[in-house]
């Protein structure tokens, strides 16, 4: 029996999960989620030294919740060059590149695949997480081909994993209201299922704290759980607390309690997805650290320059150092382990000291 199958208690069904979200006291929910995290990973909390690469913030779409995108001529519009991107990845301490872009013809399919080739040849050992399902669908549309052709080309070029962005809330009402021009729930799930079937693992996100209802959050979690049952390949789930920035969209109350409830519930519902991330740029650092005692097992990440959340006007620091990451994990009563993109332990710390191998992974 695998670590995933032998949970302390059976995973909740839809009705039970909704009841937990709406009525279970936060500390009770957190206690159950933390016990499940401890059963799987002990006191180990992983973090990765990563670099976010966002080639451009120009985008052909205008999702209502998006405070990242720019229009041509805007002061904050930018388009990176290949040289700038390669330069941002030349630090050997970076173990993972996370590449996500606005949808823009000048950063189309051929150039994006060529970028992966360039990165792979400059940094053969780097773990490359690239192109959301939204980008895959955009490339397929531009190239007039099947999304599987795009996914295969990504794999051939050296992509190791797909990021989980673009899922937003997997619900037709929210798709119609907030992001009707880009792919909706069915397409997002189909493309991730295709990636998994081809052997390309992926992550999944949830953007919460805007117009969604509790029922729609539950619908989202169970859509992911069901896809993982049919076509396994999700590595981690990342709840993202919505940052309205200058969008004019009113965020509903996303306080620390709400964030911790979503993290804890995710750990219990998503029994078949190995990792739950506390993503500090949207949760805020204090809440992300608290989440390590509410079921999260990964504190993401050192991040390098992450443009999306910076442009969305958060107060998060640009980059967390290794020392600070490790100190925060220890202050949460947990044991920091620096990981690579595959959740294996890196064999040297950032000072070059050889590390003792950790037995849980």
Positions touching ligand SF4 (CB under 6 A) are 59, 61-63, 66, 68-69, 102-103, 134, 179, 182
Nearest residue (CB) to ligand SF4, 106 versus 351: 106
Provide the minimum distance between the beta carbon of 189 and ligand SF4 in the complex, in angstroms, as a whole number. 17
Nearest distance in Å: CB 64, ligand SF4: 9
Q: Please state, in angstroms and rounded to a whole number, the distance separating the CA atoms of residues 247 and 333.
A: 38
Is the preceding peptide bond at 301 cis, omega within 30 degrees of 0?
A: yes
For 287, the token pair is 């809440």
**Within its chain, how far is the Cα of 135 from the centroid?**
15
CA-CA distance, 90 to 105, in Å (whole number)? 26
Please, what is the minimum distance in Å from the beta carbon of residue 78 to ligand SF4?
13
How far, in Å, CA of 233 to CA of 227, rounded? 9
**Whose Cβ is closer to ligand SF4: residue 178's or residue 328's?**
178
CB of 179 to ligand SF4, least distance (A): 6
Q: Are 207 and 244 in contact (CB under 8 A)?
A: no
Least distance between ligand SF4 and beta carbon 323 (Å): 33
Q: Judging by DSSP bridges, how do beta strands 275-279 and 202-208 pair with one another?
A: unpaired
CB atoms within 10 A of CB 118: 17
Comparison of 167 and 320: residue with beta carbon closer to ligand SF4? 167
Shortest reach from residue 11's CB to ligand SF4, in Å: 30
Confirm if 299 and 335 have CB atoms less than 8 A apart: no
Q: How far is the CA of 18 from the CAs of 88, 138, 185, in angstroms?
A: 43, 34, 20
Q: In this structure, how many other beta carbons lie within 10 angstroms of the beta carbon of residue 311?
A: 20
**Vertex 338: Cα angle to 133 and 159 (nearest 5):** 30
Query: Min. distance of Cβ 125 from ligand SF4 in angstroms?
Result: 30
Please say which residue, 93 or 310, places its beta carbon nearer to ligand SF4: 310
Closer to ligand SF4 by Cβ: residue 220 or 339: 220
Residues 251 and 241: their CA atoms lie apart, in Å, by 10
Q: How far apart, in whole angstroms, are the C-alpha atoms of residue 239 and residue 273?
A: 13
The least CB distance from residue 165 to ligand SF4, in Å, is 8
Report the alpha-carbon distance of residue 260 to residue 258 in Å, rounded.
Answer: 5
Q: Which is nearer to ligand SF4, 10 or 73 (CB)?
A: 73
Q: Which is nearer to ligand SF4, 109 or 179 (CB)?
A: 179
**Residue number, 66 or 269, with CB nearest to ligand SF4:** 66
- Shortest gap between Cβ of 240 and ligand SF4 (angstroms)? 11
> Quick one: 60 or 198, whose CB is closer to ligand SF4?
60
Report how far residue 217's alpha carbon sits from residue 261's, in angstroms, rounded to the nearest whole number. Answer: 12
Distance, in Å, from the CA atom of 133 to the CA atom of 148, rounded to the nearest integer, reads 11
């Amino acid at each position: 029996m695998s670590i995933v199958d032998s949970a302390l208690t059976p995973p909740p069904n839809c009705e039970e999960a909704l009841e937990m979200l709406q009525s279970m006291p936060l500390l009770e929910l957190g206690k159950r989620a933390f016990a499940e995290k401890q059963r799987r990973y002990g006191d180990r909390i992983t973090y990765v030294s990563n670099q976010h690469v966002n080639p451009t913030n120009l985008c052909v779409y205008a999702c209502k919740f998006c405070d990242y995108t720019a229009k041509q001529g805007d002061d904050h519009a930018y388009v990176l060059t290949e040289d700038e991107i390669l330069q941002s990845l030349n630090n050997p301490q970076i173990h993972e590149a996370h590449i996500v872009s606005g949808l823009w013809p000048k950063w189309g399919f051929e150039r994006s695949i060529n970028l992966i080739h360039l990165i792979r040849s400059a940094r053969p050992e780097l773990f490359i997480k690239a192109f959301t399902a939204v980008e895959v669908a955009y490339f397929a549309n531009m190239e007039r081909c099947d999304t599987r052709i795009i996914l295969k080309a990504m794999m051939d070029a050296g992509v190791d994993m797909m990021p989980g962005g673009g899922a937003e809330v997997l619900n037709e009402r929210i798709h119609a209201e907030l992001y009707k021009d880009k792919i909706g729930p069915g397409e997002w799930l189909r493309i991730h299922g295709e990636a998994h079937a081809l052997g390309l693992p992926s992550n999944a996100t949830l953007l919460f704290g805007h117009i969604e209802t509790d029922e729609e959050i539950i619908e989202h979690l169970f859509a992911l759980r069901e896809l993982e049952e049919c076509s396994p390949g999700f590595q981690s789930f990342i709840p993202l607390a919505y940052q309205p920035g200058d969008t004019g969209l009113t965020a509903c109350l996303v306080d620390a309690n709400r964030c911790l409830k979503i993290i804890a519930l995710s750990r219990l519902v998503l029994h078949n997805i190995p990792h739950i991330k506390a993503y500090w740029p949207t949760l805020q650092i204090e809440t992300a650290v608290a989440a390590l005692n509410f079921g999260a097992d990964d504190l993401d990440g050192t991040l390098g320059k992450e443009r999306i959340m910076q442009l969305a006007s958060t107060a998060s620091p640009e980059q967390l150092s290794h020392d600070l990451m490790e100190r925060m994990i220890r202050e949460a009563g947990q044991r920091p382990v620096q990981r690579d993109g595959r959740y294996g332990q890196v064999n040297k710390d950032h000072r070059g000291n050889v590390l003792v191998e950790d037995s849980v992974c």
